[in-house]
Amino acid sequence: MTLREVLSGRSTEVAPLLLGATVAANGVSIRLTEVEAYEGPDDPASHAYRGQTARNATMFGPAGHLYVYFTYGMHHCANVVCGEVGQATAVLLRAGEVTAGLEVARERRRTERDVDLARGPARLAQALGLTRDFDGTDLVTGAVRLVLAEPPAVFETGPRVGVSKAAEVPWRYWLPGERSVSPYRAAVVRPRGTARRDPRFGAPDARL
DNA sequence: ATTGAGATTTACT
DNA sequence: GTAAATCTCAATG
């Protein structure tokens, strides 16, 4: 079974098969320990929920390509596109351990502990040197490669991280016992930092 | 260990 | 204007 055939399923089917697999780009290889499934227009937490835009166009394309998005004004995150054309189902690469190119990864990440090099989706993307320039990369022939491993004998699932919509579906998948698995964070109800506040008047945020 | 603010794009109301 | 598939740093328990 080829990589493309494996990836032609829905993200919820493909996600556990990516655990233990290796992504390689720009001189760094990472063994995946944690991923999340995002479905198409019916998944309210998916970028595809409100249809195709310039940003998420790759998600609507063929399986086996990389969808890289920019968010929070500073972070990149990477997904493996699955399913059929137009289905817009993809798997977010949440965390992993660096298995090659340790020196390069350390240079990009500037962190104390090696276990933090790719612990979290934006950290993983940074360790691999991924930006929007890599959006749409073919994972079979391109500058970013995906190599599958034996599917894990055991894995665990739970709610997706930072997602407030569809919080009941356990579409986060990880390898138990791996130190590189990112800590679970429930979605922030009211992100601060963008709300305009005047310190001269009363409590910072009365809506709590 | 946990909490909170800041960084500041993309997309929607 | 507000929220988001996030991370870092500083302050606090």
Q: A83-116 pLDDT, tens per residue?
A: 999 999 999 999 999 999 999 999 999 898 999 9
- Looking at residue A195, its pLDDT comes to 38
Task: State the DSSP H helix or E strand holding residue A5, giving kind and residue range, or none if neither.
Answer: helix A3-6
C1' of C3 to CA of A44 (Å): 14
pLDDT digits (tens, 9 = 90+) for A104-159: 999 999 898 999 999 999 999 999 999 999 999 999 999 999 999 999 999 999 99
CA of A141 to C1' of B1 (A): 45
* Cα atoms in the 13 Å half-sphere on the side-chain side of A131: 6
Nearest residue: Cα versus C1' of C1: A195
Amino acid at A32: L
* Alpha helix segments (H runs only) across A29-120: 102-109
Chain B bases near protein CB atoms (7 A cut-off): 4-12
pTM: 0.90
Pairwise CA distance, residues A204 & A201, whole Å: 8
pLDDT at residue number A207: 28
- Give the largest CA-CA distance in chain A: 65
Torsion of CA A8, A13, A16, A21, to 10 degrees: 0
- Residue A14 pLDDT exceeds 70: yes
Query: In whole angstroms, what is the distance from residue A76 CA to residue A204 CA?
Result: 31
* Cα dihedral A63, A66, A71, A73 in deg (nearest 10): -150
Instruction: Answer for A192: CB within 7 Å of strand C.
Output: no
Task: Report the distance from CA of residue A113 to the C1' of nucleotide B10 in Å, as an integer.
Answer: 32
Phi, psi of A33 (to 5 degrees): -120, -10
